[in-house]
Amino acid sequence: MLVSEQEKEKIYSPGLEGIPAARTKLSQVDGKGGRLIIAGYPVEEFAGKAVFEETIFTLWNDKRPKPTETSLFSEELRSSRRFSKVIRTIIEEAVYANLPLIDILRIGSAALSLGSQKEDPKKDAMAVLSTFPLIVAWAFRLLKGQAPVLPRQDLDIAANFLYMLNGNDPDPRSVRALNTYLNTVCDHGLNASTFAARVIISTQSDMISAVTGGLGALKGPLHGGAPGPALDTVFEIGAKENAEKVLREKLKHNERLMGFGHRIYKVRDPRADVLAKAAKILYDTDEKREFYDLAMFVEKTALELLKEYKPDRVLQTNVEFYTALLLHGLGFPTEIFTPVFAMGRAAGWTAHCFEQMQERILRPDAIYTGEDGKLWN
């Protein structure tokens, strides 16, 4: 359908906000109601119960797996790992170049084309989900000057990642917390990285290219880079008696309080409550509980001050705040936050790619604002 420039101006929306570009069964983001539905399930219904493999299966197949299907699917994922010496060498070269971990993951993602069977996108998707955690853990230990740890065939995604990261058998509570996190962030509507992946796959490109493009979008600070700063504020405050003074100073200077407010959610982010419950069990010692209590006090103080300074806006705790708290409770430093986010969101990227492969190429219009009739001479 041909549309005039005048008609385009009437429907133009910066950032395509509010303009549907896809039909999906994968997730619904209800900003007004504060609800997130993943493949038909409210996020709070399954995130704290399922293992990540079950969530991937559900996104890909639009149904919850039976126990036998979970077992077979988990085994298929483990056998799909692409972690040859060549790929490890590529990762190591990126480490020696002192690149950020998210860039190393992007390079490692592209390297998964080695051994790719482009005629079978499902195998590439399985390689992505099973190998991303290996790349992150391997590179992280090298960046820290530690000997990397080879993956185990008897461990599922979350447990194996913790094993490779720390070099010892993972604590079941930590495995449960990481599974909950990966489930919670697996998909979230047509966000920037998911849209990027769908655009690429819509051209009949391959799964590895689409996922790598998604990673490129995710590394931007407006999308995947916010959880670290949310925790930095708690560290900066340091003690409960400093909370109000530090936060007031930030608000007086019109600084954004990271971890509060969301572009879509006009009430509390439903993912925040899921991760709050998962995080709490990780802070079981006196030392850890002291930090947890401080974070809770900072949250309470921030919400009170936001009502005072910005009474016309609804600014609630979002997923970034409790992401930071949970990942810190797992012992993760902030530089690993975004790569771990990518490990979870890759489930959504691949599922959206499978959907988009049944649709036409994504090719929105643009409004021309330049001149006309210029002469070259």
Cα 10 to Cα 302: distance, rounded to the nearest angstrom: 39
Are 211 and 349 spatial neighbours (Cβ–Cβ below 8 Å)?
yes
> Is 262 assigned a catalytic role?
yes
Task: State yes or no: is 352 an active-site residue.
Answer: no
Question: 376 — phi, psi (to 5°)?
Answer: -75, -35
Lay out the sheet containing 41-42: strands in order across.
27-30, 35-38, 41-42
Report the alpha-carbon distance of residue 48 to residue 44 in Å, rounded. Answer: 7
CB 194 within 8 Å of CB 185 = no
The sign of the dihedral angle between the CA atoms of 277, 283, 286, 291 is negative
CA atoms of 315 and 329, how far apart (whole Å): 25
Q: Of 53, 188, 320, 352, which is the active-site residue?
A: 320
In terms of DSSP H, where are the helices of 12-84?
Answer: 43-46, 52-61, 67-79
- Helix count and strand count (H, E) for the chain: 17, 3
Catalytic pick from 53, 188, 262, 299? 262
State how far the Cα of 289 lies from the Cα of 235, in Å rounded to an integer: 14
Token pair recorded at residue 350: 């691949």
- Identify whether the C-beta of residue 219 lies closer than 8 Å to the C-beta of residue 103: yes
Q: Which residues are catalytic?
A: 262, 320
